[in-house]
Amino acid sequence: MTTTISLDSAAPARLDVDALVIGVVPTGRDGDGVRPAAGAEGVDEALGGRLTDALRAVGATGKAEEVTRVPTLGALPAPLIVAVGLGESPDAEALRRAAGAAVRALAGTRRAAVALPAATAGEVEAVALGALLGNYAFHEFRTGDRKDPVEQLTVVASADGGQQALDRARTLAEAVCLVRDLVNTPPSHLTPDDLARTAERVASETGLGIEILDDKALAEGGYGGLVGVGQGSVNPPRLVRLAYRHPEAQRTLALVGKGITFDSGGLSLKPSESMAWMKSDMGGAGAVLGALSAIARLGVKVNAVGYLALAENMPSGTAQRPSDVLRVYGGKTVEVLNTDAEGRLVLADALVRAGEDDPDLLVDVATLTGAQIVALGTRTAGVMANDDDLREKVVAAARDAGEAFWGMPLPAELRKGLDSAVADIANISGERWGGMLVAGVFLKEFVRDGLRWAHLDIAGPSFNQGEPHGYTPKGGTGAATRALVRIAEDLAAGSL
């Protein structure tokens, strides 16, 4: 990230910036009033007590994420006030979204100060993180017609622990934006080897250990899922293992990410309209890489390993065929009835391998099923686990991190639909119902007995095809990155 961010305890009305962001909340019984929120002290006075009237005159309501611009006409050093709605009962997520919406609206501005409620370290982190995430833009392939992000951001606050909170927000934002960049990068520029080399660079920068298995090593090692999915492409598969160790760690977390750098569906070809955004099918691997980079930089007291299962799923004369049988790592055989159900095949290899690290908790994250979007929409991820208490704790950890996850079951009766006449298991069921759950049931077969495991399906939340909202841009979102970091912190603390 090229944006700089700092704290300033000065009165907001005195800051010499190009735009000043303040919060507003609705007032009045009928919701037709508005007033400045905490953090904007002194601004109304500097405007001669006319701020509320000015906000009403331009239609401000205080509705969450509503952005209203008011010129200061020389009354403040800042020529522009940007008032963002916080809603009626703003919490940390409301602050994140408000800061993101306001800063995103200031694209093309050089200097901006954000004076939202920030009386505690937690509020400072929320405001700073929302501002940084809302300031994101992916301009790698644009040669013109672009508005660059705000260059200098200032968070107005004097809370105890504010600087540490700001530093943490910066670390989380850098991790999320790394994932967004990877998801937004076109497949012409992000093959499995490209992503593996990016992981190598991140590992070097953060002190992570790294091992990369190429296609020859995968074949020799018996990683039939990765080899099978990748055999139709001229860009061969990779398995990346990342490792972080803390000298005081008492628990080990294993993370596994699906990394299909482009998913055509293979010979079970997708419709063209479904294929257009399949550069995002590596969002799970991206989230694991981003999370491990943040875990290392934050010094979380946990040992963590991460596996990026990387392949490109393409149709060709060498591609796997429907009815082929693969032998995944560990020896179990899988009948491939649909080559577009490829993510679960590469995850099977990585889940078995991750189990050999004897972790206290295994979590996989994947853009796995369209059924997740049908069931939960585009903003809420699904969580399945082999332990109900674990599932709810993962949901709570994600919520605390500001991400929307929802617990889902793994009905035992769905396993019968995966029976195969020729192999140990088929990769799809003969029934169309409960596809998200069926995929989870399939993955559960590759988790060793006694190992606590959770599966995160982020198919919808990983890529925003609609308009930007809050701190979420169009395109790659970095979904699950913050949740994985919080899961690591909760495991380290013994609460998960």
Known catalytic residues? Answer: 270, 344
360 φ, ψ (degrees, to nearest 5)? -80, -25
Structure tokens at 459: 């198919």
Residues in contact with 220: Cβ distance below 8 Å, sequence separation at least 6, in sequence order: none
C-alpha count within 13 angstroms, C-beta hemisphere, residue 347: 37
Taking alpha carbons only, the member of 173, 151, 45, 50 closest to residue 103 is 151
C-alpha angle with apex 280: 333 to 409, nearest 5 degrees?
Answer: 55
**234 with 283: CB under 8 angstroms?**
no
Strand partners, 407: 383
Cα 248 to chain centroid distance, Å, stands at 28
Sign of the alpha-carbon torsion through 414, 419, 423, 427:
negative
Rounded to the nearest 10°, the torsion over CA 255, 256, 260, 261 is 30
Alpha-helical regions (H) of 8-85: 43-46, 51-57
Burial class (CB in 10 A: 0-12, 13-18, 19+), 32: exposed
- H helix or E strand, kind and range, residue 155: strand 152-156
Q: Helix %, strand %, coil % for the chain, to 5?
A: 35, 20, 40
Alpha-helical regions (H) of 21-115: 43-46, 51-57, 92-104
